[in-house]
Amino acid sequence: MPIGVYISVPFCRSKCSYCNFASGVFARELVAGYVERVCTDIQRARQTASSMGGVLDRKTDSAYFGGGTPTTLMPEQIERIFGALRQEFEIAPEAEITVECAPGSLTPEMLAALVRAGVNRVSLGVQSFVDAEARAVGRLHARAVALDDIARLRAAGIANINIDLIAGLPHQTEASWQTSLDETIATGVPHVSVYMLEVDEESRLGRELIAGGTRYHAHFVPDEDAVADFYEQACATLNGAGIAQYEISNFARAGAESRHNLKYWTRQPYIGFGLDAHSMLEGPNGTVRFSTADSLEAFMAGAPLNRTSVSSRDALEETFFLGLRLTRGVDLKVVSADFGIDAEAEFGNSLRELQSAGMLQRKGDIVRLTPPGRLLSNEVFQRFLARPSSRLELSHKIH
């Protein structure tokens, strides 16, 4: 089966206050060394897969450069990584090749490099079309810059564009959020990702919110109920505009769903390179997951990979909590056939309780999250997991 390839580029022009990813601002010398390390790891991919107990197909039909901001690299560095990929993998002519981009980082030279590299999809981290909201969290672009980037991408032949939005930014109101949604729809892009602001200790804004402080405009962050309302507002607005929700955070016009991300949610094989990159491969003894270090210092020092064997029970649980992320839901009959179990008998009590609580809906053998279930998805997923805390982390790492 063709695999998906993920490349982590953890560098940014500035660190947004809400960001909880393994990314930051680093010296150019370190960036150059990082690129060489990633290329070396790509060249060693087959040996690495074998040592982890996985089998790596040479064919790939999706590649995704995430970050950080991959377009902070020099154009020749982007092309260097693509060159390494094409030496080691047979990239299908129809492959989906995505690069994440912060508005304002798409120079003419970078855009030309992306086109030469065969990039056909770009994910723009707009987050908000309201300039005051973007400035409050450290974004360096304005609305006009994002719109100009979209126009230039299309002029270069890259029309498959995703816009990222965040519900819950400081100063955001129902009216300003609607402005961002309306602007997004007006651009005509085929794909939109909507994320609710995460409050945790992994970001400066999250730590300030937890502490009850006022730095980073924390005292202007909408409360949880408002953020939930914004999410529901986005679902209604985007669905109403023909940009249909197909996953908890993702919406697309017909045929524009992210093929790469669908690999994660449907448990197809993929391999990751770079900082905090995750992989899942099939092997002679079953499925194996492995990941790189989440510290740049440790990664560059050659920290060993973290390997986890996936038992049949783990695979069953993943099928539920990743499959339920999708609007189409999980087919109990297919699960029963794939795992040689009676899914109804295995999970019947949880299914009935969640359905009674309004978190799940069922039609025949198909079970899906309801709108309230999407808002409380982690609580729903825990009902299908033997080790909730460790398994749920996976859901956050790969979406």
Q: Are 78 and 4 in contact (CB under 8 A)?
A: no
312-365 residue pLDDT tens: 999 999 999 999 999 999 999 999 999 999 999 999 999 999 999 999 999 999
**For position 21, what pLDDT does the model report?**
57
CA dist 373 and 331 (Å) reads 17
CA dist 235 and 315 (Å) reads 30
**For position 67, what pLDDT does the model report?**
82
Residue 22 confidence (pLDDT) above 60: no
The least confident of 239-243, 365-369, 392-396 is 392-396
**For position 202, what pLDDT does the model report?**
62
pLDDT class of 192 with cuts at 50, 70, 90: very high
**Rg over CA atoms, the chain:** 21
Residue 152 confidence (pLDDT) above 60: yes
**For position 205, what pLDDT does the model report?**
67
**For position 310, what pLDDT does the model report?**
95
CA distances from 85 to 3, 154, 160 (A): 13, 25, 22
Superfamily grouping for domain 3-263: tm_1862 like domain (3.80.30.20)
The structural architecture, per CATH, of the domain 311-399 is Orthogonal Bundle (1.10)
Identify which of 284, 283, 291 has the alpha carbon closest to the alpha carbon of residue 308.
291
The mean predicted confidence, pLDDT, of the chain is: 91
103-120 residue pLDDT tens: 999 999 999 999 999 999
Read off the pTM.
0.91
Residue 399 confidence (pLDDT) above 50: no
Structure tokens, 58:
């040479």
125-143 residue pLDDT tens: 999 999 989 887 766 678 9
31-69 residue pLDDT tens: 999 999 999 999 999 999 999 999 999 999 999 999 889
What one-letter code names the amino acid at 40? T
Which residue ranges make up each domain of the chain?
Answer: 3-263, 311-399
337 compared with 398, residue with greater pLDDT: 337
